[in-house]
Amino acid sequence: MISLERLIDALASLLETRGYQVMLSATDPTVLTPRRLLAPDCLLPVLMRMAEEIWRQRAGQVSFGLAIDPDRNALCGQRLRAVHHAPLSLLILCTDQTLQSVADARNVILFEALEQHANTLCAVPASQPTPV
Distance CA(114)–CA(50), nearest Å, equals 10
Show me where the domains of the chain are located.
4-121
Query: What φ, ψ does residue 92 adopt, rounded to 5°?
Result: -65, -45
pLDDT at 125: 52
Q: Is the pLDDT of residue 100 over 90?
A: yes
Ranking 3-12, 52-61, 94-103 by mean pLDDT, the lowest is 52-61
pTM of the full structure? 0.86
